[in-house]
Amino acid sequence: MTMAPAWLTARPIAHRGLHDCGAGPLIENAPSAARAAMALGCAIECDVQLSKDGEAIVFHDFTLERLTAHSGRVDAFAAKELRSMRLRGGRGDAIATLPDFLTIIGAATPLVCEIKSRFDGDTRLAERVGACVAAYGGPVCLESFDPQVMAHLRRQAAALGIAHVPLGMVAQADYGEEDCEWSHLSAEAKHALAHFLHYEETRPQFLSYGLRGLPHAVPHLCRMGLAMPVTIWTVRTQADRALALAHGDQIVFEGAAVRPEQPA
């Protein structure tokens, strides 16, 4: 199995860009957070949602309320409308499309792009993301919690022009949270996610694993048994960092406690 390239774990990965966790000027998934991450020499993780007209939008939540002054589902608005919406607080950033975001990064640092999913079999966002990154010249990889999304991308990689793009799974030990994209799944489906029973179908090239579940057999076997790169999210303290690096190859971090020093 082809593994992810060394650049995936070469630098700490700024979770949703280098943002402030409170109501600071750097807002998650904002262009300014991406620029701040690049200034510190960090890689960037971002999330993407689907707009009403089929564009990939750099935004974590399925709804707008937490991060903007608007309300409603992201996929109820066209990309043009979303790009006119300012993120709450911050530096006046507007919501970015994935093409906007790729232009801002300009191949200067690795990008880890998480494809959000409602676990409903809809692969439109995955295909749009694939189209966006197919011709991108910088280091980028794609990941998702949803095995159907990643299996679809693996099957269609050649047709989408992304055979060169590493594909990975995001996973964690427990899927019992409410108000998550997987909350409607059956106990059997959640068991399959927690125990990585989709492996034969997804064949990921890397794993991004939740810190709260460590230590756990899944990242251990992926890393030690399959030589699969493992990143650990979300690291917020020095204790988190030590735990993450005991069980993974790189941190996905946020907050000042683990922020790398700015290069001279």
Q: What is the pLDDT of residues 22-36, one digit of tens each?
A: 667 899 999 999 999
Tell me the CATH class for 7-253.
Answer: alpha beta
Structure tokens at 59: 């935004």
The Cβ of residue 253 has, within 10 Å, a number of other Cβ atoms equal to: 25
| Model pLDDT for residues 55-70, shown as the tens digit of each residue | 999 999 999 999 999 9
CA atoms within 13 A on the CB side of 170: 22
3-7, 92-96, 173-177: segment of lowest average pLDDT? 3-7
More confident residue, 156 or 2: 156
pLDDT at 264: 52
pLDDT at 2: 63
Q: What mean pLDDT is reported for the chain?
A: 95
Confidence of residue 261 (pLDDT cuts 50, 70, 90): confident
DSSP at 75? G
The pTM of the full predicted model, rounded to 2 decimals, is 0.97
| Model pLDDT for residues 121-158, shown as the tens digit of each residue | 999 999 999 999 998 999 999 999 999 999 999 999 99
